[in-house]
Homo-oligomer: A and B are copies of this chain.
Amino acid sequence: MKRTFRFVFLFVALALSIGAFAQKGFIDIKRLQDREFYPVSIYNLGFVGDSDRYFYTKTGMELVIGDKKGEKEVLNLKEGELKNTLSSFFSIRFVSDKEFAYLSKDGIYYYDMDNRTVRKVCDIPEGAEHLEVDYEHAAAAYTIDGNVWYSKGNSAPVQLTRDGGNGITYGVAVHRNEFGIDRGFFLSDDATKLAYYRMDESMVRQYPLVNTEAREAEAAPIYYPMAGMTSHQVKVMVYDAVSGTTTELQTRENESIEEKEAYLTNITWNPESTLIYIQKLNRKQNHMKMNAYDVRSGRLVKTLFEEKAEKYVEPESPIYFLPEQSDKFIYLSERDGFNHAYLYSVDGQLIRQLTNGEWMITSIEGFNARGDEFYFFATKDSPLESNMYSCRMKDGKIRRCTSAKGTHYNVAFNKKGTLFLDAYTSMEEARRVVLLDGKAREIRQLHRAEDPWQKLDKPQIDVFTIKAKDGTDLYARMIKPVGFDSKKKYPVLVYVYGGPHAQLVTDTWLAGANNFFLFLAQQGYIVWTVDGRGSANRGYEFESAIWRNCGSIEVSDQMDGVNYLKSLPYVDSERIGVDGWSYGGFMTISLKLKNPGVFKTATAGGPVIDWKWYEVMYGERYMSSPKDNPEGYEKSSLLNYVDNLEGKLLIIHGAQDNTVVMQHSLEFIKRCIKKGKQVDYFIYPDHEHNVIGKDRIHLYEKIYEYHKANL
C-alpha cells in the first residue's frame, strides 16, 4: 500500500511537470512476482463426459458448467463438501455426465453433481508418492518408502516391490527425464496391468551435494552419471493385477553394457493391454528400435522398425493407436527434418507419412469421434505460434481448429469434435479462453485476463527477424525503455539461453519475456533476445546445428544479434551486458570470453563450464562422449578461455543444483584464481538448478544491481 501511494504521488508530480507524458508507474523489483502482475487464469478446462457441456474452474473452487448457449451452472465447491482435497487448487476430471473424480489425501473420490454427494472409489494410503491415477477405472500406482504399490477400487492396496532404496528407484522418470519420459508408472488402458520402470543406479558415481540445514552439515549424495561415465541400468516390469504376477520385459538382447545402458523410452500399452511398445535407443543415441513386447512372457515380439541418424535420434512421444482401428498407429518422427506424423500398421509397415512441410507437430491431442481425424498442436502458421489443427488421415487434409493468432496452450474438444474450449495467449492477449465451433468460429468468450502491465508504464516489445551470417532468419525480441527516444543512447542487456528444447521468443503475453525484463526496460535498459541455432521449434537441422560443437554456431548467431544492435543509432555499444542461466549461463560465459571487449558485464547462473561434467543423456546427445569427441569438449570448455576474461563476470549457482552440478562453477572459479583473474561468485545455498519461490526476487536484485553497478 505504501508503494501504491508513492506511485500516485509520482504520477501527480510528473503529470504537472511534464504534462503530456502521463506516467502510470514503475514496477517495484520486490513485487515482480506478486500475483497481481500475472494474468488471471481459469483451470480444468474440459467437457462433461461425452456431452457437449463444457466445464472449467476458477480459483476458490468455483466450478462453472456451460454449453454453447451459455453458462448454466456454477457450483461453489466448498472445501467441506469435497473430502480431504489436496489443496484449494485441485484437479478434477469428469468420469461420466454427472460425476467428476478428484484426488484426495487418502484416495480417489467421485462427486455426484446431481445429489451433491461424494463417494470414495479407490483407497490410497496417506503419504503415497509419485501417483499415477486412472480416474475412470478407479486405480492408481504409487510408491511408499521407495517401493511400488497398486490400488484398484475397493480392494486392499498391494505392495509390488521390496527392494526399493539403496540405488534401486521406482516410481520416477528414468534417464533424467530425457526422451519425453516424465513418469515411472504406466497403467494399461483397463488399469488391470501396470508397467513400471526399475532403475538400478548402484553402479553410478555419486555427486556429493551437502545439506547445511542439519545440526552438522551432512553429505546428501545424488547418483549423477557424467558424460562418458558408467550410466544406470533400467528395466521395465509388468504387474498383472488379475493373476498377481510380475514379469520383467526382456529388453536386453544380451548382457553387454551397451544393452544394459540402453534407453527405454516412450512406454506405450496397446489398446488390448497385451503388448508394450518401447522405443529402445542405444547409448550413442543414433539408433532407435521400435520394439513390441509380450507382457505375459516378457519376450520381444517384434522390432517394428528402426530409425538411425548421423547425429542423434530423439524419440520424444509415445505412439497413438487409432481408436477405431487398433491395428494402426501414428508415430511422430523428425526423420524428414521436421517432427511429423507417420501412419503405421502394427506389424511395422509404414502406411504413409501423414503430414509434411517446414513446420512441426509439437504434440498429438487425440482423435475425433469417428477416428478418421487426429488433432495436434503445430507450428504450421508460424514458429512463434502454436495452434491446434486436425488432419484427415485418408487424404492428409489439414484444418486449423483454433482461430486467434498466438499460442494456444490448452484446447479441449467434445467427443464429436464439434466444440472446442480454447485457452490461448498472444502478444495482444494476456490470456483468453473462448468456445469455438468445429469450424474455428468463436461462439463465446469465457474468460479474458487483463494485461497487468496496463496499469504500469509498459515498455514497448517488438518481435522481428534478423539475419544470421549465412542468411538464416532468427527471431528476435527487443524491449525498449519507457519513453524511448531514438536520439538517445541506451545500454543493452542481452538475455540468452541458446540451447535445445527452448524457445524464448514466442507469440505470447510479453512475447515470452517476463516481468523482470520489463522492469529492466523501465530502468533504462534495452533488453534483447535472439533465438539462434540450437533452439527449438525450427526443425531438426536448426536445433541440431550445435551437435558435437556446443558454444560455436549458437555463439555466432548471438553475435549476429549483437552486431545488429551495434548498428542501431540508439544503442550504446560500450554498454552491452549479457545474462543467462544453465545453457544460457554457458552461453553467457562463452560470449564474454570468446568476444573480449564486447560485453562489459555478464551474469551467468548455473552455467555448464565443461560438458564432461554434465550428465550422460543430454550431454552425450549433443556432445558425444569425451572419448569420442575430445576436440569438441576441448573447444567448448570454458576453462580454456579464462585468459580472455576482462571486466565484470558474476557466476551464480544453487548449492543444491543436481542438474548442472557446482563442480562446473567451482572449477571455473579456481581456474580464474590460478590465472590471477578477478571474477565474482554467488551461491544460493538451498536452491537447485533454479532459484525459485520468494528468493527469486533476491536473485533479480542480485543480477540487476550487478549490471547497474558495472554496466
Contact = CB atoms under 8 A, between A and B. Distances in A.
Interface of A: 30, 205-208, 210, 212, 215-219, 221, 224, 226, 229, 613, 655, 661-663, 666-667, 669-670, 673-674, 676, 678, 680-686, 695, 697-698, 701-702, 705, 709
B695 A673 contact: yes
Contacts of A669: 683, 685
A690 to B, nearest CB: 14
Contact of A678 (B212, B662, B698): B698
Nearest to A204: B216
B697 A676 contact: yes
A681 B678 contact: no
B212 A666 contact: yes
Tell me the number of copies of this protein.
Answer: 2
A698 B680 CA distance: 12
A667 B210 CA distance: 12
Contact of A683 (B208, B666, B676, B686): B666
Contacts of A673: 684-685, 695, 698
Given A205-B216, A212-B666, A666-B683, 15 more contacts: A206-B219, A208-B218, A208-B219, A212-B662, A216-B224, A216-B613, A217-B662, A670-B685, A670-B686, A673-B698, A678-B701, A678-B702, A680-B682, A681-B681, A709-B709
Contacts of A210: 208, 210, 662
Most chain B C-beta atoms within 10 Å of own C-beta, residue among A208, A686, A701: A208
Contacts of A678: 698, 701-702, 705
Given A216-B207, A613-B216, A695 B674 contact: yes
A215 B662 CA distance: 13
A271 B682 CA distance: 58
A550 B633 CA distance: 51
Contacts of A686: 670
Contacts of A216: 205, 207, 224, 226, 229, 613, 663
A684 B224 CA distance: 24
Contacts of A30: 676
Nearest to A705: B678
A661 B217 contact: yes
A625 to B, nearest CB: 13
6 contacts: A208-B217, A208-B219, A212-B662, A216-B226, A678-B701, A681-B682
Most chain B C-beta atoms within 10 Å of own C-beta, residue among A666, A674, A676: A666
Contact of A680 (B207, B613, B680): B680
A674 B709 CA distance: 23
A212 B663 contact: yes
Contacts of A226: 215-216
A661 to B, nearest CB: 7
Contacts of A219: 206, 208, 219, 221
B217 A663 contact: yes
A205 B709 CA distance: 43
Given A208-B217, A219-B208, A655 B663 contact: no
A613 B217 CA distance: 9
A563 B667 CA distance: 43
Contacts of A685: 666-667, 669-670, 673
Nearest to A669: B685
A662 B678 CA distance: 21
A657 to B, nearest CB: 12
Contacts of A663: 212, 216-217
A212 B661 CA distance: 10
A154 B678 CA distance: 55
A229 B215 contact: yes
A627 to B, nearest CB: 12
Contacts of A205: 216, 218
A673 B655 CA distance: 13
Contacts of A709: 709
A701 B680 CA distance: 12
Contacts of A698: 673, 676, 678
Contacts of A217: 207-208, 661-663, 666
A705 B686 CA distance: 29
A697 B675 CA distance: 11
Contacts of A207: 216-217
Contacts of A613: 216
A684 B670 CA distance: 7
A683 B208 CA distance: 17
A572 to B, nearest CB: 21
A669 B702 CA distance: 13
A701 B677 CA distance: 10
